[in-house]
Chains A and B, each alone.
Chain A
């Protein structure tokens, strides 16, 4: 734990999720001040008190709903300090069949995975750019690498988010601001509860936490798959010609 790290602050958007918790814990262990922003304050407090008990350092909780875009500025202004790193873990897989039938359901998925995170991180980027330092981490998804019949509404939103992060990285390159895109693949979490997951492709939340820290704070990678096997796998999936892909019904 260095004196330098002690003065650093991490803000996690979506801090009540398993992945958010794991990332926050990894930073807390390294001596960072951790702040959680959550929609459900009770659930967020449960994670916050856990991280505080483990690290011996209080973890403040702020309320933030990623769909309430008009609240973003007030929330950011209410923080005691502009954080050094911001990680956005927010996501809503929705239900593909429902999204197909109900435009409002589809809209919620699109907004929660793309609009909200992009607008929030965009505002953060402006403040980081003004200060000249900062790291931005977006948790996107392999689902955004290619649209699939089974989840293309969610996938399309994640694809948009991936493109946003890539553009932001491009724009801020050389200005002291790091932008990291993380594609976790399968993770054992609330969202995947009860599904049979392929072992070698499935990461624990703590692996995501370590991967984010390595990429954002130790400069090891800017677009990362938490489990390396995903990279060649997704390369192949992206390369399959549309004519064949559409018959695969993935």
Chain B
């Protein structure tokens, strides 16, 4: 038995560890060495889901040994990769050849399998959809030991259930998709200052044409400044943009791991005072730089937190939860104000608070819907968990839902209310013999 936890380091569970080393081994893992069927398996990528999605009910299948690039066509940008490949690795190979993944989340230390299973969204969801929208085919090891290849036109039901399906339809072994061409590794970034929530939402809406958009929100601001934000818009820079910056390396290398958090920080390090001071400074500095476009290297634009190794330890030994909800456009403004108000009033310091605009998604269990998503990090405590239960009610009332890849604590009722595609997924799970065999702590907790 090995103790597993997600990126939030809460909750922690014991699960048996299984590490396949080749694609051909995966399908046979559904039975143990004596040929007896195993129960309660789930695939795990890099463990960047915050909560309990990647912890098997009884055994966890770590897919990192499957990290080979099978093919990469430098003319068309089409790649076929094994599911345990790290996004960081793919970017390292693709970028110098002029290609970039069509969708990336906020960290590059995720696997391609994990990106498909969570149908991850990037700062371009409003235009590009989720990562799942770009998958052309994927190979899946089903619970009956069969390997199938599916895609939008091939076993579409299985495909739709697997995109965003949190590993509950099988283990993804390989996937093919096409990268997008880029001319440099820089992002031309423009900052829009939004002094309150309404103007933040308006700025995101007005930015529908921007390739990338995301808002950092000061979740401790109150009163008239409630929801004040810096909205970052980004475009892939061209070589012409670079001439302004003398000596700029066309493909800047990743600066990863400048600083690693060596120990669990005392949990009081991130308190109202320190985060409040940071937020105020950050907002001021951002406001000063607003207007003019600036060049930002790709890794700092897409993965600002990756520069600090193990930053999840900043929240102390008890861990933290990320609260990420999406709200349909019509209800977004009112409900967001309500949520921010309550978080701010409770005085909980969220070091990271992000707003993004999302478009529709295609997986049965995909998180995105047309609307706005808010993400907050909060240290685990009885008070925080109680506060989040209150926020759940607001989200459900607004017709929104919580992101399963971030979840560690929502109730089955909140899940049921938020995911209309759940029954279709359940039916498909029955068809393929998944119930009992494929289950995570998350799926058991929520009754998926």
Q: Could you tell me which A residues sit within 8 Å of B by CB distance?
A: 42-43, 46-47, 49-50, 53-54, 56, 190, 193-194
Contacts and interface: CB of A to CB of B under 8 A. Distances in A.
B422 to A, nearest CB: 36
Nearest to B18: A194
A49 B68 contact: yes
A54 B93 contact: yes
Contacts of A49: 68-71
Given A50-B68, A193-B19, 17 more contacts: A42-B24, A43-B22, A46-B22, A46-B68, A47-B68, A49-B70, A49-B71, A50-B69, A53-B70, A53-B71, A53-B72, A53-B79, A54-B69, A54-B93, A56-B97, A190-B21, A193-B21
B88 interface: no
B93 A53 contact: yes
Contacts of B21: 190, 193
Given A43-B22, A53-B93, A56-B74, A194 B69 contact: no
Q: Which 8 A-B pairs have the closest CB atoms?
A: A50-B68, A53-B69, A53-B72, A54-B93, A50-B69, A46-B68, A53-B71, A49-B70
Interface string B15-53: 001010111100000000000000000000000000000
Given A43-B22, A46-B22, A54-B93, A194 B68 contact: no
B17 A194 contact: yes
Contacts of A50: 68-70
Contacts of A56: 74, 97
A53 B24 CA distance: 20
Nearest to A43: B22
B67 to A, nearest CB: 8
The CB with the most chain B CB atoms within 10 A, among A46, A50, A194, is that of A50
Nearest to A193: B19
B19 A194 contact: yes
Interface in B70-97: 70-72, 74, 79, 93, 97
Contacts of B71: 49, 53
B91 to A, nearest CB: 12
A21 to B, nearest CB: 9
A243 to B, nearest CB: 39
11 contacts: A43-B22, A46-B23, A46-B70, A50-B69, A53-B70, A53-B72, A53-B93, A56-B97, A193-B19, A193-B21, A194-B19
A50 B71 CA distance: 7
The CB with the most chain B CB atoms within 10 A, among A42, A53, A54, A194, is that of A53
Nearest to A49: B70
B75 to A, nearest CB: 11
Contacts of A43: 22
A54 B72 contact: yes
Contacts of A46: 22-23, 68, 70
Nearest to B19: A193
Nearest to A40: B22
Interface string B55-71: 00000000000001111
A190 B93 CA distance: 25
A50 B90 CA distance: 11
Contacts of B19: 193-194
Nearest to B67: A50
Contacts of B68: 46-47, 49-50
A54 B97 CA distance: 10
Contacts of B24: 42
A96 to B, nearest CB: 21
Contacts of B79: 53
Contacts of B72: 53-54
A56 B72 CA distance: 8
Nearest to B2: A194
A48 to B, nearest CB: 10
A46 B93 CA distance: 17
Contacts of A47: 68
B172 to A, nearest CB: 17
B313 to A, nearest CB: 16
B262 to A, nearest CB: 13
Contacts of B70: 46, 49-50, 53
B291 to A, nearest CB: 41
A42 B24 CA distance: 10
A54 B71 CA distance: 9
Contacts of B97: 56
Contacts of B17: 194
Nearest to A16: B22
A46 B66 CA distance: 10
Nearest to B74: A56
Nearest to B70: A49
Contacts of A190: 21
The CB with the most chain B CB atoms within 10 A, among A43, A47, A49, is that of A49
A165 B352 CA distance: 55
A49 B79 CA distance: 12
B357 to A, nearest CB: 35
A193 B2 CA distance: 13
Nearest to B24: A42
A43 B70 CA distance: 12
B102 to A, nearest CB: 18
A54 to B, nearest CB: 5
Contacts of A42: 24
A53 B74 CA distance: 9
B173 to A, nearest CB: 12
A210 B328 CA distance: 51
